[in-house]
Amino acid sequence: MNNMTAKISGASVMGVPEKVRYKSPTARGRLPALIIFLPPALLLFTLFVILPMGEAAWYSFYRWNGYGTPTEFVGIRNFEVLFNNAAFSTALINNGLIIVVSLLLQVPLAIWLAVMLGKKIRGVVAFRLIFFLPYVLADVAAGLIWRFVYDGDYGLFAAIAGFLGVATPYVLADRDLAIYAVLAVVIWKYFGFHMMLFIAGLQSIDKSVMEAAEIDGATGWQKFRYVTLPLLGSTVRLSVFFAIIGSLQLFDLIMPLTGGGPSNSTQTMVTFLYTYGVTRMQVGLGSAVGVVLFVICVTIAFGYKRIFMRND
């Protein structure tokens, strides 16, 4: 993992700028290799990734229940419905909230832990393992576990409230609190992954820089503030990038916790797509959500890399 950050710049998400290396012309079997090796990938990818995406764009202009062929053209009506829908606005706000919380809480937490785990103290390696554990668990399992934790009758929150002698909170049933409860689980589940990014980022910092700072008499905090932090810039941007991507596809964790409720207060774009598009078989509306999601994803993939990660 030491050379991880070095490789980030090599392959970008979007493009492959380097030229394919020209191989020895004496090699035999160029055409058979192409004919055997390429079509399976091409077929699968076109059939199950590109065509469905194109179809989503097409269906989004129709009102359709998914049977026969779409005939009822409604223009941009689906998009109008979408942007006038209060639940969809909540979903967009929630997706944004997850990104903000990641930036304000998850990144500092991950850096703090990564710095501590970098110290030469016995036993810290075990902590690294524990912190990464939630990340490998399935979102559904994590969601159900936290549903138990938050449960007002049998869960840990009930016991804590009982111990403190206050009224039992039903956080997941509270319209104002539920989203924060979900955010806490998101951080619980993903901070270990971000911490790993920062551990790798810290390892790639040149030791001589730190030694120079020490010779100049920098204190621990000064070393962190003026040497470590600026050199972690690219890792911060990477970490936020993953948080954005993760936020945009958040679904598995929400379903067992709240299913998007109560009264749509914890919807995300994908749970909205599922609730209103899939379960009601409103193909047009669901596809319109897909198109919005696609446009946001592509804009971020190109824009974020171009604006924030151009030097990385």
Partner 1 sequence: MTDTSSTVRVSTATRLYVYVSLSLVAAIVLVPLVTTALGGFKTLGDLRLNPFGLPSEWVWSNYVDILFGERYWRQMMNSLIIACVTVFLTLVVSSMAAFCFAHIRFFGSNQLLNYFLIGLMFPAATAILPLFIRIRDLGLLDSYWGVILPQVAFGLGMSILLFRNYFRNLPEELFQAAFVDGCGYIRFFWYISLPLSRPIVATVGIVTFVSSWNSYILPLIMLNTESKYPWPLGIMVYRGEFGTDWQLVLAFITLTILPTIIVFFLAQKHIIAGLTAGAVKS
In whole angstroms, the minimum distance from the beta carbon of 1 to partner 1 comes to: 6
Q: How far apart are CA 308 and CA 242, in angstroms?
A: 13
Q: Is 129 in the site for partner 1 (CB under 8 A)?
A: yes
Pick from 75, 91, 71, 54: which is nearest to 277 by CA? 91
Q: Which of 61, 62, 79, 193 binds partner 1 (CB under 8 A)?
A: 193
Stretch that binds partner 1, among 72-80, 82-90, 100-108, 116-124 (CB under 8 A): 116-124
Residues of this chain, 172-191, that bind partner 1 according to CB under 8 A: 188
Handedness of CA 286, 101, 93, 184 (dihedral sign): positive
Contact 97, 250 (CB under 8 A): no
Task: Report how far apart, in Å, the C-alpha atoms of 44 and of each of 38, 40, 41, 47, 51 are.
Answer: 10, 6, 5, 5, 10
Q: How far apart are CA 220 and CA 131, in angstroms?
A: 24
Q: How far apart are CA 53 and CA 302, in angstroms?
A: 18
Which DSSP string do the residues of 229-258 spell out, in sequence order? HHHTHHHHHHHHHHHHHHHHT--TTHHHHT
Q: Is 135 in the site for partner 1 (CB under 8 A)?
A: yes
Stretch that binds partner 1, among 85-93, 96-104, 174-182, 196-204 (CB under 8 A): 196-204
Q: Which of 63, 89, 105, 118 binds partner 1 (CB under 8 A)?
A: 118
Q: Is 165 in the site for partner 1 (CB under 8 A)?
A: no
**CB closer to partner 1 out of 104 and 298:** 298
Q: Is 93 in the site for partner 1 (CB under 8 A)?
A: no
**CB closer to partner 1 out of 97 and 293:** 293
Q: Which of 228, 247, 267, 275 binds partner 1 (CB under 8 A)?
A: 228
* Interaction mask 48-77, partner 1, x per CB under 8 A: xxxxxx-xx--x------x-----------
Contact 269, 91 (CB under 8 A): yes
Strand-pairing partners, residue 62, are 73
In whole angstroms, the minimum distance from the beta carbon of 75 to partner 1 comes to: 19
Stretch that binds partner 1, among 73-81, 84-92, 171-179, 194-202 (CB under 8 A): 194-202
